[in-house]
Amino acid sequence: MTTRKPVHLAVYDTFADWETGHATAHLAQAGFEVRTVGPTREPVTSMGGLRVLPDLALDELRPEDSSLLILVGAALWDTGDSLAPFARAARVFLDAGVPVAAICGATAGLAREGLLDDRAHTSAAPFYLAATGYAGGERYADVDAVTDGGLVTAGPTEPVAFAREIFRLLGAYDDRATDAWYRLFHDSDPQAYAELEEALAR
């Protein structure tokens, strides 16, 4: 039996706690361990006021120990460079062939790091990323979420599509289950519930 490596969720003050709930909850149900990574091991507080004690500090994180690094949005992405080390970690992951998923403000952090210059991507809006001064504007796609190689990006209003792309990238569920899951949680399609249950039972 192959043991899956953990998925690492970056957490830092002001992180948008609702943006990765779909992804992390269902990855855990699919058998992935989800571990939190903070700037240090000191507690952080989410935008919603949740206090989280990270499992490990960023300087302890190694790509070879991970299935995926998830970078979530936060007010801090747009108010200085305190989260730049997480964008640099994303570069290390991608260079090592380990995937990264970024949503909302984290996409701006990746843009500043130059990681979106040569990859198809999306975010909140083209002008939001343009304000970073990055060189990847021609690769911007106005869609719910984008996967290019090992990088997933999504805007702040698309946590369900973000999760869908992560499931596909990691093979958490087969295509039929992933499609039914998306229609259930994104479209509130009642038929999708039965299809999802059937797909997961196979």
Q: Please identify every residue annotated as catalytic.
A: 104
**Tokens representing 57?**
């500090």
Say how far apart CA 202 and CA 187 lie, in whole Å.
23
Q: Which residues pair with 145 in a beta bridge?
A: 154
**Tokens representing 75?**
């007010």
Report yes or no: 84 and 106 within 8 Å, Cβ to Cβ.
Answer: no
Alpha carbon dihedral 163, 189, 175, 9, in 10-degree steps, equals: 10
Q: Is 18 exposed, middle or buried (0-12, 13-18, 19+ CB in 10 A)?
A: middle
Say how far apart CA 3 and CA 78 lie, in whole Å.
37
- Categorise residue 31: left if φ over 0, alpha if ψ from -120 to 50, beta otherwise: left
